[in-house]
Structure 1
């Protein structure tokens, strides 16, 4: 005698028929879903590990910049960019290394670091900072077209600083009218309590001397 009632037997038959028809498909979906879940967890684990390793390299970079060991800065930055390029630490590290290179007068190395950050960084804050720093060096080297290209895009929260740098570019090209326009735009968009505001005001106050010569 069957252990199951007639109703239960009918339910089992329906279940067997269901699995016979859809079982392979369901198992395939489950494998894909749980496989994706495992892969995602593996990716997160890899990211966490990469981030941890990137922190160690980044801290070494910071220490090298504090010590003024510019050769070591270059070596560590290379490791950071080659092995942890997708990490925010590589993006920030490129900016720190660029400043160290600039302070040592190694402008080509500084520009290379800033160019990498401006093209590869994923955070707008890092991209904007890199472009502003890069434009400053290019202006000093009279590479005006390249400086203008570096300042061709703007980023939320950085509008004032970009206008200020565009004013510097115009001033370097002895275009006082455009410089004044850009500096005034910078003043109108920069935060009122920003210490940079006084710097821009000084630049504007110095413009009449240049304007008088034009």
Structure 2
């Protein structure tokens, strides 16, 4: 009986050896790749958290400068963020905020540069498109109509469609193209949600072009009979 078991065990052992000889290297490589991928994933998550924490600390420094209305110090802090942590949301937010501060301080050229960076390098599509909308406005102020049109063409987020049309209307109006401007403002009004206060601004623009946007109630409508 013992001899029989020994032979059976020997046969099983030979089968295992044969299987491992044929597939052992492949199994080892697969396991190694899986372990490496897991380690890489863990390492990437740690790296992302570390980057975000460091960028957050620098963003706090930027906010202190921005709150103090120190445009130069804020620009320097935003520049450090963009240089060291360009892929973070903090860098994009700092770019948008410093552009507003620069504009308040009369530094339109610097504001355009800050917005241009976010438009090209911002970490999220929403940041990039918001920067493009603001940049287009500054380009219109500088009468750079072709540049503004190209900037608006790059805005792809559906939620900004109404604002893009509104900005296009501004560009056309500034160029004396009133009919085309009306069409864009009407597109904007159709795209902007009725609960948004910005609709009133678009309605006012249409009103100056002779386009009524509010339907008045008929006389005696709702009167008690």
- The corresponding residue for 1:83 is 84
1:92 shift after superposition: 1.7
- The corresponding residue for 2:128 is 127
1:137 shift after superposition: 0.3
Please say which structure displays the higher CA radius of gyration: 2
1:7 shift after superposition: 2.9
Secondary structure of the residue that 1:158 maps to in structure 2?
Answer: helix
1:28 shift after superposition: 2.0
Secondary structure of the residue that 2:158 maps to in structure 1?
Answer: coil
User: Which residues in structure 2 correspond to 1:1-214 (within 5 Å)?
Assistant: 5-153=6-154, 154-208=156-210
TM-score (norm 2): 0.87
In structure 2, runs of 5+ residues without a counterpart are 211-225
Matched residue pairs, number? 208
1:190 shift after superposition: 0.3
Does the CA contact (< 8 Å) of 2:88 and 2:123 recur in 1? no
Secondary structure of the residue that 1:105 maps to in structure 2?
Answer: coil
In structure 1, runs of 5+ residues without a counterpart are 209-214
Q: Distance in 1 between matches of 2:150 and 2:34?
A: 46
1:26 shift after superposition: 1.7
- The corresponding residue for 1:212 is none
